[in-house]
Structure 1
């Protein structure tokens, strides 16, 4: 079995969307990404921190198409990792202020996560990792992740 190089990371995700401008507005104004390049009404690339792109959006096969069925194979969600709880709280506040419906929230022991969808129904997770020393482990030292409720009101108190 081949193992991935330990230095490998996942660099970006490219999503099919039905309305490029609507998706740009969501990923720019709700998720806070910057448009780094756009190709008319067919494709756009957005990033955080000056990277060339973290999210690619295109309408090449999906312009004005119907939403994908939740029961169809495909991407479940793309996850955005925030550096700390305060940054996650601010991201939640921004999403709520934009009228985003929060579809789920969980404390996984290793992380705290919130779930919602973009305008095309693509799943979004925003989360923060706890320090590895705080991760729950069983008596053998293996991860023992949980799926407990996350107190959104308490989280929002930490928004800057």
Structure 2
């Protein structure tokens, strides 16, 4: 199996029962700022200041007491094609890879661990770190299917 070159834990996506209440709580008590609100997806992307987002919150009324972590994201150290090779190695090993997407600011591969937790391994698109917050605001919260074999590196 191809071992991924993971750089860091990048962000966590959390389901919440009330988006406004939770967003305000994270901003007030953790000092986060709202990078983008996505009303059509009932979500908010929050940052501690350096990243385009550290935590994303999505409203899901059944979240209270239910499964509340949507996914945990790891930043990949490589190219989109190398991420595609990693994706294929997961599939070859029988891992449940359930989607591969273009987020506008990155490409991500989503899969589940043996306990059913969802993980995303993603590679950033080529853009200066200083422009990531603006890029997130510009592209919004997109998640379009993508074939990593056809992406230019």
**Could you say which TM-score interval applies, normalised by the shorter chain?**
0.3 to 0.5
| TM-score between the two structures when normalised by the length of structure 2 | 0.47
| TM-score between the two structures when normalised by the length of structure 1 | 0.45
Q: Which has the higher contact order (CA 8 A, sep 6+)?
A: 2
Higher-helix-fraction structure: 2
Which structure has the bigger radius of gyration? 1
Higher-strand-fraction structure: 2
